[in-house]
Amino acid sequence: MLDALRKSAGSWVAKLFIALLILSFAVWGISGFLTGVGQNTVAKVGNSEVSLFDFDRTYRQDLNTLSQQFGRQLTLAEGASIGVPQQTLGKLVAEAAMNSTAQDLKLGISNEELGTIIQSDPAFRGLSGRYDRNRLQQVLQSNGYTEDEYVLQRRKVAERTQIAEGITGAMQVPTAYLEALAAYTGETRTADYLLVTPETVGDIADPSEDVLSTYFEEHKADFKAPEYREIKYISLTPDDILHPEEITDQEARDEYDRQSGDFFQPERRRLRQMTFQSEEDANKAAAEIAEGKTFGDLMTERNLTENDVSLGVMAKSDFLDEALADAAFSLEDGGTSGAIDGRFATAIVNVQEILPAAAKPFEDVKEEIKTDLARDQARGEILEVVDEVEDARAGGATLEEIGDRFSIDVDTSEAFDASGNGMDGSKVTLPDSDELVAGTFDSDIGIENDVLQTGNQGYLWYEVSKVTPTRDRPLDEVRSDVVAAWKAGELEKRLNDVAEDYLAKLQSGTPIADVAQTAGLDVQSAEGLKRNTPADVFGEEALAAVFSGPVGTRSATPTADGTGKLVLVVTGATVPEFDPSSEEVTAMETQLSQQMQDSILGQFITDRENKAGVEINQAAVSQVIGLNQN
C-alpha cells in the first residue's frame, strides 16, 4: 500500500497512539452497555467505533510498557486492578471522538502527503539515516501491525492532527505569566545560619526509674506487641506437576529436530568497518591496503578509535546490506576487503576473528528438552489440577488431605504481623503473593480463603492456623526500646529549646555573629538557594523558611536529614533578569505552552464525547481484561 504513496514521516510510535491529542484521559468515566452493534465492538463514539481487536492490542502494548517499569510482566488482572484498561479505553475513546469529528468535517489527507509523513519518520530510518522500507517492516511487525493497518491508522492520526492544530495551533503562554514564573523559579537567596546538632546539646543521660516508668505508662500503646498470625498453605506451580521422565527420547528427538535452529549457532565474525565519503577515497584506501598497509594503519591515519569502526560479532544474516555481508564472509581470518559499494555507503571491512558454526549435540540437550516439554505440558494441565483442588475444597477436604491426594507438601509459615514481619522484626519468607498478608489478616481460623495467584502461573491455597493476639508488653520486656524512645524525645526537645533560644536572640536584634560567639558555634553561609532545590543541610522546610519573607527574615527549622536544627537569617535575594531567549526560559515556555494546548484540546475532546455520546460494551471490555468467568 505504501508503494502508491510518495515520501513521508512523523514519529509513529508516539503519534499513532496519542498524536497531539491523547493527553490524560484518566478522567474518562463514561459507562454503559453498547447495543445495536456487533459483539466485536468495545466502544462507539458518534459514528466511530473502537474494535475489540484494537482495544486488546493497545491494552497489551500499554501493559507491556508498564511492565518494563515494574521490572516484571504484569498479568491482565493486575493491569485491571491498577486502572490500565480505563486509561487505554479512555485513550481510544478520545481518538474515536476525534475520528468522528474528522468525518463530520470531511477532513482528509492526500496519498502524496501521507507518504511524505510516513517516509520522514525517524523510526523508519536505516543506518544511512534515510527511509528504509526494511526498517518499516521490522518496526510494524514488532508492534503487531500490517502495513495496510498502519497506513490507515496513520491517515487517521494525520486527520486528528489537523483538528488539534486548528484548535490550539501555535498557541503560546502569555509573556507576563512566563516572566512571573521565571522570576519565581529563578530567584536565589543567601542565608547565614547556625547549625545546632546533638553534639551542641551534649550527651543525654539515661532517665531515672521513676521518669522512665512515667514515660512508659504515657506511651504504653507505642510498645504493644502486634497481633501475629501463622498460616499453613499449599503452593502449586507448573514445576510442581511436571514429569520430564515421562517424555520419551523420541519425543525429545522430534522436538530437537523441530527446533534445530535453537541449537545451532551459524558462523559469526568479529568485524570492523570503515566508511568513506566517496568511492574515490575508498578505492585509494583499498589500494594502500593492497600495497601492504594494515586496517589499523588506516585507522591511525584517519584518527579513528576501535569504537568508531567496530561492528562487534555478527552472523551473515545480521547484515542489512547484502554486499557487505558477502564481502565480510568471503574473507580469511584477519583479512581486509577492497572497496565495497554498500547499500548506504562505500566501505572497507576487516575480519578480526572467525567463530565457526556449531551445533549442540542432541545428547547434550536431551534432558533440557525433556524438561521444557514437560513444563509446557504442566502449564496446560495446571488449570485442570486447580479445578480438582477447588472441587476437593468445596467438598470439605482439608489442606492436608489435598496435599496427600496430589502429592504436594503442606507448609507452615513463621508467625508474622500485618506488615509481614516476624517476632524478631525481620521480614518473614512467604509465598510470592501481594495479597497474602492482607488476606491473612482479613481471614480467621477455620475460614476458607480464595485461591491466590503467585509468580508465573502459580496458585496458593492457605488457611490461618494460629492467631497470637496483640498484648501490652511489660516495661522489662521493652526497656531498651523505651529508654531509646525517651532519649530521642528528650534530644528533640533540647534541640528545639536551644534553637528557639538562639532565634529569640536574633529576633531581639542580636547579630548572628554575637549569638554564635556566645554559643561557641561558627556562622555558616549558604548561597544560591532556590525554591524546591534542596542543598546540603537545607531541606524542604528550611527552604520554605528562607523564602517565607523578605531579606532579614529569621527562622528556626529542621535540617534536611532531621537530625539537627538550623537557625538562619536571610541576607540576600536576587531575581534574574528576564531573558526570553535563554535555554531555561525557552524550555519553560515550551512546556507551559504544551500544557495549555493540552488542556484546551482535552476540553474539546470531552465536549465532543459528551455531544456525540459514548457507549461502552462492558462485556467486551471484561473479555479482554480477563474478568469473564464463563
536-559 confidence digits (pLDDT tens): 899 999 999 999 999 999 999 999
Q: Say yes or no to pLDDT of 4 above 60.
A: no
Mean pLDDT of 575-593: 91
More confident residue, 119 or 133: 119
pLDDT of residue 53: 86
Mean pLDDT of the chain: 86
Continuous segment of H or E residues that includes residue 476: none
Mean pLDDT of 344-358: 89
From 601, 535, 589, select the one nearest 190 (Cα to Cα). 535
Which residues have C-beta within 8 Å of that of residue 211, sequence separation ≥ 6? 486
Q: Do domains 228-242+377-468 and 267-356 have the same CATH topology?
A: yes
Name the β-bridge partners of 358.
265
Secondary structure E strands in 469-542? 524-529
pTM beyond 0.75: no
CATH class as words, domain 228-242+377-468: alpha beta
* pLDDT bucket at 155, cuts 50 / 70 / 90: very high
Choices 1.10.4030, 3.30.1120, 1.10.760, 2.60.40: CATH for 2-170+600-625: 1.10.4030
For the chain, what percent of residues have pLDDT higher than 90? 42
Report d(CA 376, CA 353) in Å as an integer: 39
* pLDDT bucket at 47, cuts 50 / 70 / 90: confident
pLDDT of residue 6: 33
Mean pLDDT of 336-360: 88
pLDDT of residue 368: 86
The residue behind cell 516495661 is 475
Q: Say yes or no to pLDDT of 157 above 60.
A: yes
For the chain, what percent of residues have pLDDT higher than 70? 93
Residue 70: CA atoms inside 13 Å, Cβ hemisphere, count?
13
From 102, 83, 88, select the one nearest 612 (Cα to Cα). 102
Would you call 574 helix, strand, or coil by DSSP? strand
126 in Cβ contact with 120 (< 8 Å) = no
The gap between the terminal CA atoms of the chain, to the nearest Å, is 41
pLDDT of residue 9: 32
76 in Cβ contact with 626 (< 8 Å) = yes
Q: Say yes or no to pLDDT of 600 above 50.
A: yes
Burial class from Cβ neighbours inside 10 Å (0-12, 13-18, 19+) for residue 30 reads middle
The residue behind cell 466511530 is 48
CA distances from 467 to 229, 233, 404 (A): 5, 15, 25
pLDDT of residue 531: 92
Helix ranges (H only) for 395-451 are 399-406, 436-442
From 523, 533, 562, 556, select the one nearest 185 (Cα to Cα). 533
Burial call 533-559: b when 16+ CB within 10 Å, e when fewer: eeeebbbeebbebbbeeeeebbbbbbb
Q: How does DSSP assign 583-600, residue by residue?
A: HHHHHHHHHHHHHHHHHH
Secondary structure E strands in 2-56? 41-45, 48-51
For the beta sheet containing 346-355, the strands, ordered from the edge strand earlier in sequence to the opposite edge, are 310-315, 268-276, 346-355, 340-341
Domain residue ranges in the chain? 2-170+600-625, 188-204+478-574, 228-242+377-468, 267-356
Task: For 521, list phi and psi in degrees, rounded to 5.
Answer: -115, 165
From 460, 430, 490, select the one nearest 206 (Cα to Cα). 490
The CATH-assigned architecture of domain 267-356 is Roll (3.10)
Secondary structure E strands in 123-267? 188-196, 228-236, 264-265
pLDDT digits (tens, 9 = 90+) for 63-96: 888 887 777 777 777 787 788 888 899 899 999 9
Q: How many residues are given for the chain?
A: 630
* pLDDT bucket at 627, cuts 50 / 70 / 90: low
Cell of 603: 476540553
Q: Is the dihedral of CA 547, 548, 553, 555 positive or negative?
A: negative
pLDDT digits (tens, 9 = 90+) for 238-296: 887 788 888 888 888 888 888 877 788 888 999 999 988 788 888 999 999 899 899 99
pLDDT of residue 39: 65
